[in-house]
Structures are given as structure tokens and as C-alpha cells.
């Protein structure tokens, strides 16, 4: 995660409600040199003290919870293409 790039959130054209409800997101964090990722749809976006923020909700029973709690930062990834499954 050393190669993070800052995203311009104001350039996004996606509906944040659709992203979380229909498309979901991936939450990734590192703990003790190991990486863990989970799918999630609980969270949101907003403005707090004039700064854009994102929040996530992870049950403490989830394996990823301990990774996010131990990490200094985590990533939220949103997939841009849909693959139809028949």
C-alpha cells in the first residue's frame, strides 16, 4: 500500500448510493505484512468539517475487522465493469 494515489473524488461521475447498494466495494488492509480484502456494501460518503469522508461498517466477527483496526490506512476499491453471469 506504499503506492497509494490520491483520487479526485470530485471528478467521479458515479452515483454513490448505487455504488454501495448495487455494485458494492472492496475493503483492503494490511496487518503484519499480510493483506486481506473483503466485499462490503455498508458505509457511506459525505462531508465532515469541510472535508470529504468515507465510512465503512465491518462486524467485529469478520476476519478483515482486525486488519482494518491494526492498519494505519485501508483502501476502498470500486469496480467499474460488470460481468454478466448466465
Assign 56 to helix, strand or coil: strand
Pairwise CA distance, residues 20 & 4, whole Å:
22
Question: How many percent of the chain have pLDDT more than 90?
Answer: 47
The pLDDT of 59-68, averaged and rounded, is 95
Q: Is the pLDDT of residue 80 over 80?
A: no
> Strands (DSSP E) along the chain, which ranges?
25-31, 34-40, 43-48, 51-56, 75-77
Residues 6+ apart with CB under 8 A from 74: 27, 28, 29, 56, 67, 68
Amino acid at each position: 500500500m506504499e503506492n497509494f494515489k490520491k483520487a479526485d473524488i470530485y471528478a467521479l461521475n458515479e452515483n454513490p448510493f448505487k455504488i454501495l447498494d448495487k455494485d458494492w466495494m472492496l475493503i483492503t488492509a494490511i496487518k503484519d505484512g499480510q493483506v486481506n480484502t473483503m466485499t462490503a456494501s455498508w458505509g457511506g460518503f459525505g462531508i465532515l468539517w469541510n472535508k470529504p469522508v468515507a465510512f465503512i461498517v465491518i462486524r467485529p466477527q469478520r476476519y478483515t475487522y482486525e486488519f482494518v483496526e491494526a492498519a494505519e490506512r485501508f483502501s476502498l476499491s470500486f469496480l467499474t465493469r460488470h460481468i454478466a453471469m448466465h
